[in-house]
Amino acid sequence: MAKCIWILPVVIAVDFLTKLIVKASLINLDVIPRVLSLNYLANTGAAFGIFRGGNLTLLFFGLIILGIGLIFYDKLLAGKDWWCYLLIGAGIMGNLIDRIAYGAVIDFIDFHIWPAFNLADASMCIGVLGVIAYWVLPSRK
């Protein structure tokens, strides 16, 4: 199963390094004024500010999802959508590292019309959208 399993550690490492840089600098930078900013934010909840203060619950939930992924590892990586599951797993692991190390997830990418997020969040979203696309789109033979 040597596919592109490297996706997992690369996404986790890049996510970790970007968060480390943001946390160390407590960045607050307008990249494109009124469009894109890089702002340090410690998020104890989930996406869109839901479950604020629910770090422990979200940590537990993330571990359960990863456990299920490990149980069904062979089946998940056997289909054409294998890369989607690797992105989802990498995103979960990236945010779990923050929850364990800091008690909150570090978010910093802020498009002003959307809640701030990080690379782990983006990885999970791309993975989920990919899985949905594989479910919805007719398979090509």
Kindly report the pTM of this predicted structure.
0.89
54 strand-pairing partners: none
- For every one of its 141 residues, what pLDDT tens digit does the chain have, with 9 covering 90 and above? 456 788 899 999 999 999 999 999 988 889 999 999 999 999 998 877 788 888 899 999 999 999 999 999 888 888 889 999 999 999 999 999 999 999 999 999 999 999 999 999 999 999 999 999 998 987 654
Is 30 one of the catalytic residues?
no
Q: Which of 15, 98, 107, 110 is catalytic?
A: 107
* Three-state secondary structure call for residue 5: coil
Give the single-character DSSP code of 112: S
Which two tokens mark 8?
């997992």
Is 98 one of the catalytic residues?
no
Determine the pLDDT at residue 141. Answer: 47
Q: Which of 15, 98, 110, 121 is catalytic?
A: 121
User: What percentage of the chain reaches a pLDDT higher than 90?
Assistant: 67
- The whole-angstrom separation of Cα 119 and Cα 92 is 11
8 Å CB contact between 108 and 120 = no
